[in-house]
């Protein structure tokens, strides 16, 4: 029977390996480029928050997952917090607003909260500080920061003492809360940082490491590390590898992988280079080194670019780190797992089905090893569009979650067999098409557009973009425009290429950059992140990259030349 049906024969040959891949739930065709296994994970929807929120802070205290502050729909500050208990979220009133504020879980069991935006829309900074007591679910305002701050980060050293650094549209510097009421200014920093990484060292000091932005949203690619007590120093690794933007609720200690009782202070730090490659650094005291991994960290899933957006969140019990990401086209979420105790560290990339609320906040590792994300922003990636959804990613600490990947040689064999299978199908289809060629008439053959129609279509496209400003929609694609014009998307691509000598995406980005220039001239104080989103870019990183590619300058450099 199989001799008459060669396709069936080939399928039977593939069946054992296909079954093996199915059990592991790995997509070898996606992992061939890097070798990294791709594993599908199905998240579980937990009860929604009472209030949609973004730029809030999260921690797990008193056996309760708790969220603090942030802003809600319309970019409006919310002086509220919520804790999860008995299957529902319980709303609490805070003393102050803390939108993009500081959150530090303390050894005492309480939570230190301070700073954040002063007004709606991310305007200004505040001094206010308060303490949350999870035993009584109460908040107490007790003092004010030495320097008003938003986008600040704090870290506890000795019991009750918190070092603070980082700011947004205001001066940075390091200050100390000594556990009572007063805040003491320690020193100025060598760099003006926004949302820096704070790491403890074994000598009781605190290091301040760059995020990718300074306190005005400009790229910050320096390799200087400040110390609260000691002298600043240069890190050679950070000359070529730089931390990427972490904007979704950073608490310094989530990345701690050391053992404080043994005096071992070590952290994991996510990095990216100029080519877009992603890596993880080990930070042990003042020594920074790349963590070797068994495969390169993937930056694509199928044709989708993965945007990693969280710090490395560590589960110290099983010595595993998690980094979450998303894409802006299909709206998948991704979770990179790093079993860092192995040498080289073992990695896997988990992916979900498309999810509407794509930009995930920093997850929290629950006591059983599951990950939970709270709130965030919706598909438009806008501060005006936060969501209330809460998702649980069922990793746990079972053997299933940490099982070894299928050996690489088996995936190579499977890939070769799949190629042979697809080749057979393509050859047969080509034979059928050749046998049917004589039946084609002139009406069946699509003629290229005449020059007059090309000019007319380009004119209509230009009018559509300029009058309706479709380019301000970050989700705009060629199919949408083709549908509006009543033509095939290939016609749009062809007419842009022949008329302008560029691609459709380059055309749209050109309009976006020109619009961004107008906004910068109208209001030079506008935050770069708001300019990026308002001009149709999906992220401020994409904005910076495109702006410089077109103008040869960063937005700040271009603006300074207009004065």
**Where do the H-state alpha helices sit in 45-164?**
none
Q: Which residues contact 483 (CB under 8 A, 6 or more apart)?
A: none
What does the alpha-carbon distance between residue 510 and residue 516 come to, in Å, rounded to a whole number?
Answer: 10
The pTM of this model reads: 0.67
Selection from 195-199, 442-446, 527-531 with the highest mean pLDDT:
195-199
Given a contact cutoff of 8 angstroms between Cβ atoms, the answer to whether 370 and 20 are in contact is no
- Domain residue ranges of the chain, discontinuous segments joined by +: 1-26+406-431, 449-560
Whether residue 85 is predicted with pLDDT greater than 80 in this model: the reply is yes
More confident residue, 292 or 479: 292
- β-strand pairing of 346-351 with 38-40: parallel
Cis bond upstream, residue 344 (ω within 30): yes
What does the alpha-carbon distance between residue 93 and residue 68 come to, in Å, rounded to a whole number?
Answer: 10
In 3D space, the residue among 145, 153, 150 whose CA is nearest the CA of residue 183 turns out to be: 145
pLDDT tier at 319, thresholds 50, 70, 90: very high
What does the alpha-carbon distance between residue 264 and residue 466 come to, in Å, rounded to a whole number?
Answer: 59
Please determine, looking at this structure, whether the domain spanning 449-560 carries the CATH number 3.30.360.10: no
What does the alpha-carbon distance between residue 292 and residue 280 come to, in Å, rounded to a whole number?
Answer: 8
Q: Which of 98-107, 177-186, 230-239, 521-530 has the lowest mean pLDDT?
A: 521-530
Number of Cβ atoms within 10 Å of the Cβ of 300: 13
User: Nearest 10 degrees: CA dihedral of 148, 55, 277, 242?
Assistant: 10
- β-strand pairing of 71-72 with 76-77: antiparallel
The label of the residue with tokens 């300029």 reads 466
Q: Where are the beta strands (DSSP E) in 14-125?
A: 38-40, 44-46, 57-61, 64-68, 71-72, 76-77, 80-85, 88-93, 102-105, 111-114
Residues in the chain, total = 563
Q: Tens digits of per-residue pLDDT, 97-109?
A: 999 999 999 999 9
pLDDT tier at 414, thresholds 50, 70, 90: confident
Question: Is the torsion defined by CA of 188, 206, 372, 307 positive or negative?
Answer: positive
């Amino acid at each position: 029977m199989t001799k008459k049906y060669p396709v069936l024969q080939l399928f039977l040959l593939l069946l054992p390996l296909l079954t093996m891949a199915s059990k592991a739930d790995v997509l070898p065709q996606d992992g061939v480029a890097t070798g990294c296994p791709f594993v599908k994970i199905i998240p579980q929807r937990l009860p929604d928050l009472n209030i949609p929120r973004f730029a809030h802070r999260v921690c797990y205290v008193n056996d309760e997952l708790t969220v603090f502050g942030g802003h809600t729909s319309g970019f409006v500050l919310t002086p509220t917090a919520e804790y999860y208990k008995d299957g529902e979220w319980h709303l609490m009133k805070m003393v102050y607003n803390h939108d993009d504020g500081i959150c530090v879980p303390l050894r005492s069991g309480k939570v230190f909260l301070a700073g954040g935006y002063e007004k709606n829309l991310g305007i200004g900074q505040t001094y206010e500080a308060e303490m949350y007591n999870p035993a009584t679910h109460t908040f107490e305002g007790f003092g004010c920061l030495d320097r008003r701050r938003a986008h600040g980060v704090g870290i506890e050293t000795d019991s009750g003492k918190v070092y603070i650094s980082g700011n947004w549209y205001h001066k940075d510097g390091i200050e100390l809360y000594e556990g009572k009421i007063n805040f003491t200014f320690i020193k100025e920093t060598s760099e003006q940082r926004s949302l820096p990484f704070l790491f403890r060292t074994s000598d009781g000091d605190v290091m301040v490491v760059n995020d990718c932005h300074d306190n005005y949203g400009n790229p910050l690619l320096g390799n200087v590390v400040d110390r609260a007590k000691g002298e600043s120093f240069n890190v050679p690794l950070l000359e070529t590898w730089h931390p990427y933007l972490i904007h979704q609720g950073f608490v310094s200690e989530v990345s701690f992988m050391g053992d404080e009782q043994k005096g071992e202070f070590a952290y994991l730090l996510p990095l990216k280079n100029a080519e877009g490659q992603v890596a993880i650094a080990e930070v042990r005291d003042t020594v920074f080194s790349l963590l070797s991994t068994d495969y390169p960290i993937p930056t694509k899933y199928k044709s989708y670019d993965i945007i990693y957006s969280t710090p490395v969140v560590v589960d110290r019990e099983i010595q595993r780190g998690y980094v979450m990401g998303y894409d802006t086209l299909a709206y998948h979420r991704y979770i990179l797992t790093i079993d860092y105790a192995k040498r080289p560290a073992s990695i896997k990339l988990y992916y979900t089905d498309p999810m509407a609320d794509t930009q995930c906040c920093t997850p929290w590792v629950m006591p059983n090893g599951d990950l939970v994300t709270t709130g965030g922003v919706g598909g438009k990636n806008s501060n005006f569009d936060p969501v209330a959804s809460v998702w649980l990613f069922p990793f746990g600490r079972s053997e299933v979650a940490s099982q070894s990947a299928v050996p690489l040689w088996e995936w190579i064999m499977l890939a070769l067999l799949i190629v042979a299978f697809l080749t057979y199908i393509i050859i047969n289809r080509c034979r059928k098409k050749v046998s049917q060629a004589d039946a084609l008439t002139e009406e069946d053959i699509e003629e290229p557009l005449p020059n007059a129609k090309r000019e007319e279509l380009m004119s209509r496209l230009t009018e559509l973009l300029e009058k309706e400003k479709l380019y301000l929609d970050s989700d705009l694609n060629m199919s949408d425009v083709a549908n509006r014009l009543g033509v095939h998307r290939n016609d749009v691509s062809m007419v842009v290429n022949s008329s302008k000598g560029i691609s459709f995406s380059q055309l749209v980005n050109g309009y976006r950059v020109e619009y961004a220039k107008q906004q910068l001239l109208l209001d030079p104080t506008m935050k770069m992140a708001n300019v990026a989103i308002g001009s149709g870019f999906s992220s401020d990183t994409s904005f910076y990259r495109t702006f410089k590619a077109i103008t040869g300058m960063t937005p700040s450099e271009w603006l300074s030349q207009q004065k």
